[in-house]
Structure 1
Amino acid sequence: MSLFWRIFGLNALVLGVATGLLLWAPVTVSVPVLLTEAVILVGGLAVMLVANAALLRVGLAPLDRLTREMPEVDLLRPGQRLPVPGRGEVAELIRTFNGMLDRLEAERVTSSARTLSGQESEQRRIAQELHDEVGQSMTAVLLGLKRTADRAPESLRAELLHMQDTTRESLDEVRRLARRLRPGVLEDLGLTSALASLADDFATHTGLRITRRFTAGLAPLDWETELALYRVAQEGLTNAARHAEATHVELALSGTADGVLLSVTDDGRGIGVAREGAGIRGMRERALLAGATLNLGPGPHGGTRLALSAPVPGKYA
């Protein structure tokens, strides 16, 4: 039965019962209306309204659930679906809504994959240009300053040596940026070595005290999963250094029953109720593409704990 006929039937039932009571019940209306008659009429109207409201509430309850669910849907948290209540128009509407979520989630995964792939390609290109063009140019400047300083008079040598030190520091910063844009150590030495290098780099340049806890003998992962783990660790350390006001961070990588678990735990001010920014949304997109689960919440002793659980190849469909 369609929603229209169900609502029409409910109202017809209530009105039919009321009409039957007026026709066969020993109740009349005087002019002017007596108090007892007014009480009976008002009471009957109240009963009709309550019965009609209750019946409509039952009939429209699935639509209320759908209305509450729609604002909560997040394509980066897949699997949110409504139960389908039997058959009919409301059930078909909910089935259509669930099907729409299936299509949107699939399209989001596809578009995110293309976006992140393009982003990684662009980062590799920029890193290559920083290394080949900017790095070589600054190296040439550094050598030129050294030769000039060797031939310069004593009055200028100190200033040239200072410029040489500044140029050397800038060259180191360019190389560090190139390594962050294109994690060559991840390609060459694997995930554990790349995370160790990342932790050392952050500890050196941010002053954070970083504890590493890596389990040996982890299951082999594909390149996309390793890249997702590396980028999430990179973003987690960046957030701890920039926003958490942390002094100590623990970076851990361990095996699980069906994959690996990466966690970044800091002793900062905690995540609170702040809205998720672009960094966290980017981590959720990477987790979604790798078939991983990302959890962000308070740490065991305060601060924030970021955990990414990724499956090994063949255990995620």
Structure 2
Amino acid sequence: MRTDESTWCAVPPGTAVLAERDRIGRELDDRVTRPLFTIGLGLHGLAARVPSGQVGQRLRQVVEQLDEVIREVRETVFDLREVEGDSGPGLRARLLAALAIRTADSRVASTVSLPGDLDRLVPPWAAAGAEAVVVAAVGDVLRHARATEVAVQVRAGAELRIDVTDNGCGLPADEARAGLRELACRATNHAGALEVGPEPGGGTRLTWRLPLPGAQAAPDESPL
């Protein structure tokens, strides 16, 4: 294959490396993370129906181990994709696709509220973290909260704010410590914050905030 030398020289240094990292991240997400997540949901549902005993206890241990593997793979994927200049689908499309995939085979009804111009308001360095937060938070609701409803609201302006609420029984204390640690780190690394607490009518609210320097006031959200 012939390569035009002038065009090749004009490519910014590191562009090929960043593109390859993004490609690997997408393939890992499509071929590893999502199938693992589906398997985990199936095992979690099976474990809930197995009576207490040696087999049931072992099955629940396997589910916990798989949850940890999913978290580690997911962290690797988002680290790979957390680069400037993503030429693929925007954050809004990625969030909608991620939620559709993760709730398709569950009995949990989901609602989403996103700004229409979310892709313009959220820079690439913050978008990767936002996607990771929504995927992790919704995944924890599906696996542990015993909820029938989950709602995701994203607002962007002076800060990026993500609220994930459910009507379930709440997260176990050990799961909250392990599963939310990476989300808290993603926020605090950029002067943000993570808050998790009970909803007044029952269930749990997770709020993740991240300052967006130089941003304007938040526009109205577009409910979907």
TM-score tier after normalising by the smaller chain length: 0.5 to 0.7
Residue number in structure 1 paired with 2:28: 127
Find 1:235's aligned residue among 136, 147, 163: 136
Matches within 5 A, 1:138-177: none
**Correspondence 1:209 to 2:109:** yes
Residue number in structure 2 paired with 1:74: none
Instruction: Measure, in 1, the Cα distance between the counterparts of 2:199 and 2:87.
Output: 31
Name the SS of the counterpart of 2:168 in structure 1: coil
Matches within 5 A, 1:184-199: 188-199=88-99
Name the SS of the counterpart of 1:206 in structure 2: coil
Please list every run of 5 or more consecutive structure 2 residues that lacks an aligned counterpart in the other structure. Answer: 1-20, 33-72, 216-224
For residue 234 of structure 1, what is the amino acid of its counterpart? Answer: V
Task: Report the RMSD for the aligned CA atoms in angstroms.
Answer: 3.5
Residue number in structure 2 paired with 1:200: 100
**Correspondence 1:288 to 2:175:** no
How far has the Cα of 1:272 moved from its partner?
A: 6.6
Residue number in structure 2 paired with 1:266: 166
Find 1:255's aligned residue among 156, 178, 189: 156
Please list every run of 5 or more consecutive structure 1 residues that lacks an aligned counterpart in the other structure. Answer: 1-119, 132-176
TM-score scaled to structure 2, two decimals? 0.55
Instruction: Measure, in 2, the Cα distance between the counterparts of 1:284 and 1:129.
Output: 25
Q: Kindly indicate which of the two structures has a greater share of residues assigned to strand.
A: 2
Distance change >3 Å, CA 244–CA 187, structure 1 → 2: farther
- What stretches of structure 1 move > 6 A for 4+ residues in a row? none
How far has the Cα of 1:214 moved from its partner?
A: 1.3
Find 1:304's aligned residue among 188, 204, 223: 204
Q: Kindly indicate which of the two structures has a greater share of residues assigned to helix.
A: 1
Instruction: Measure, in 2, the Cα distance between the counterparts of 1:220 and 1:126.
Output: 27
CA offsets per residue over residues 188-238 of structure 1, 9 Å max, x none? 221111111111111213332111111223462222211111101111011
Higher relative contact order, structure no. (Cα contacts within 8 Å, ≥ 6 residues apart): 2
CA offsets per residue over residues 246-296 of structure 1, 9 Å max, x none? 11100111234x122111101110247557332110111111223321111
Instruction: Measure, in 2, the Cα distance between the counterparts of 1:285 and 1:227.
Output: 14
Name the SS of the counterpart of 1:261 in structure 2: strand
Greater shift after overlay, 264-273 or 239-248?
264-273
For residue 228 of structure 1, what is the amino acid of its counterpart? Answer: G
Answer whether contact 2:29 2:77 (CA < 8 A) is retained: no
**Correspondence 1:226 to 2:122:** no
Identity of aligned residues (%): 24
Q: Which has the larger radius of gyration?
A: 1
Name the SS of the counterpart of 1:306 in structure 2: strand
Instruction: Measure, in 2, the Cα distance between the counterparts of 1:269 and 1:255.
Output: 29
Residue number in structure 2 paired with 1:21: none
Pairs aligned (count):
148
Instruction: Measure, in 2, the Cα distance between the counterparts of 1:285 and 1:303.
Output: 24
Instruction: Measure, in 2, the Cα distance between the counterparts of 1:125 and 1:291.
Output: 27
Residue number in structure 1 paired with 2:213: 313
Answer whether contact 1:210 1:250 (CA < 8 A) is retained: yes
Distance change >3 Å, CA 128–CA 299, structure 1 → 2: closer
Instruction: Measure, in 1, the Cα distance between the counterparts of 2:30 and 2:114.
Output: 33
Name the SS of the counterpart of 1:205 in structure 2: coil
For residue 199 of structure 1, what is the amino acid of its counterpart? Answer: L
Answer whether contact 1:224 1:290 (CA < 8 A) is retained: no
